[in-house]
Amino acid sequence: MAGKTLYDKLWDDHLVAQNDDGSALIYIDRQLLHEVTSPQAFEGLKLAGRKPRRIDANLATPDHNVPTTDRTKGIEDPISRIQVQTLDDNCDEYGVTEFKMDDIRQGIVHVIGPEQGYTLPGITMVCGDSHTATHGAFGAMAFGVGTSEVEHVLATQCLRQKKMKNMLIKVDGKLGVGVTAKDIVLAVIGEIGTAGGNGHAMEFAGSAIEDLSMEGRMTICNMAIEAGARIGLVAVDDKTVEYVKGRPFAPKGEHWDMAVKAWRELKSDSDAQFDKVVELKAEDIIPQVTWGTSPEMVKPVTGTIPNPANESNAVKKEGIERALKYMDLKADMPITQIPVDKVFIGSCTNSRIEDLREAAAVAKGRKVAASVKLAMVVPGSGLVKQQAEAEGLDKIFIEAGFQWREPGCSMCLAMNADRLEPGEHCASTSNRNFEGRQGQGGRTHLVSPGMAAAAAVYGHFTDVRELELQPITGGAH
């Protein structure tokens, strides 16, 4: 019999019951809650007269709606304020641990989970948010769910699921200088398309993935959903264990030793069978820039915008034409000629300390171009912000002309006051370039933190590999 994949192991390990109708009942170890997708779940629970099954299996924080400017005045928008207040009230009522808006530990759910050691190898984790795939970087089975399932987990600690297929993305070789995890995952999406991973759990492996830091692995798993996969995974190794060690929610004492022993098994067997395998060479990957309105509309910074005339598939051709119109770009134009009006460095994809260091290395000793209306850096959590300030990154950014903000989702989806005006082009380190994502009529280009900082400095996309970088000395966490 063939060996098991990492996903197979995690699935088997959490199987409560296999039902006759083909569905399975899966145990969920932990859940993350935020203000947007939880109010209706708590309400549903109340209406049905049910109680949460395990309060200790939930951790909450507001992130989508919170202002990134001075918070002492609270939230200005009354509707946003009510939503955050509702989360606070629900958590208080049931006794769920919550990092409220004024807590230094507050931040984007997918940043604080790992940061707190709440995300652990071998667990199942859900959140009412599609980027929950992020936590798979720790060898955990983590996936986004809708509000009905948030309620389902609150009430039962389980979900009814179908097992997915296994997909392997293998990236071997060494990344060039200035090429990052973000470029790997954008290149993967460019290769397989936004539906390429539908119905699959997507494991990332190969020497280039092993070489990545935990932050880099989180960036990659975060965007598995942009390739259609609900679950992204990376096997556990020394880096994983080292990262988790000593964090507030991580196991301690004899539990730690016991846990590490179990975690060491969390990798695919060498003879495991995958339903789909895609291989990429790290050396071939060039810094990526999305030009269109879907993450699969991506090109290397050295490339040009596609010409719909060269596309034979009618649906795709129309998609390209529509995207060019929305983005106000011309076919065959070099990527480096796309002008940039705003720059956003942040989001659950790229707002961790390593991402900020990468951007700071470009910003140091340089200035944001006069043509750029706003360049902002939004750390992923209060603790990331604190760490960055201890390293002097805030000063580098501010001196260069960037704004240094409070943590949250911010302009990744523009639910708070941070947004694009119609027609503006934005170099963004987030994960979605859909129409209107960063503000109605806004035009998003997804890039790595270094590429975003370079675009801020030049006012148009620029190959970060051509810049001389200032070393940023970051300590270990």
The binding site for [4Fe-4S] cluster comprises 348, 409, 412
Q: Which does 281 bind (CB under 5 to 8 A by kind): another protein, ligand SF4, none?
A: none
Residue 172 DSSP SS3: strand
Chain centroid to CA 459: 25
| Binding residues for ligand SF4 restricted to 216-275, rule: CB under 6 A | none
Q: Which one, of 218, 187, 169, 216, lies nearest residue 446 by Cα?
A: 187
> Do the beta carbons of residue 38 and residue 147 sit within 8 Å?
yes
Residue 70 burial (10 A CB sphere; 0-12, 13-18, 19+): exposed
Binding status of residue 129 toward ligand SF4 by CB under 6 A = yes
From residue 62 to residue 81, what is the string marking binding to ligand SF4 with x (rule CB under 6 A)? -xx-----------------
Which residue do the tokens 């380190």 mark? 429
Contact region for ligand SF4 (CB under 6 A) — 51-59, 144-152, 229-237, 409-417?
409-417
Binding status of residue 110 toward another protein by CB under 8 A = no
Which residue do the tokens 């806004």 mark? 442
Which tokens belong to 90?
């629900």
Report the residue number, 348 or 464, with the smaller CB distance to another protein: 348
From residue 303 to residue 342, what is the string marking binding to another protein with x (rule CB under 8 A)? ------------xx-xx--x--------------------
From residue 335 to residue 364, what is the string marking binding to ligand SF4 with x (rule CB under 6 A)? ------------xx----------------
Which residue do the tokens 């996969």 mark? 229
Neighbours of 20 (CB within 10 A): 5
Contact region for another protein (CB under 8 A) — 126-134, 215-223, 398-406, 453-461?
126-134
Give the containing element (helix H, strand E) for 394.
helix 393-400
Report the residue number, 43 or 172, with the smaller CB distance to another protein: 43
Binding-site entries: 348, 409, 412
Binding status of residue 166 toward ligand SF4 by CB under 6 A = no
Q: Which does 348 bind (CB under 5 to 8 A by kind): another protein, ligand SF4, none?
A: ligand SF4
Which residue do the tokens 């020497």 mark? 207
Label each residue of 409-430 as H, E or C. CHHHCCCCCCCCCCCCEEEECC
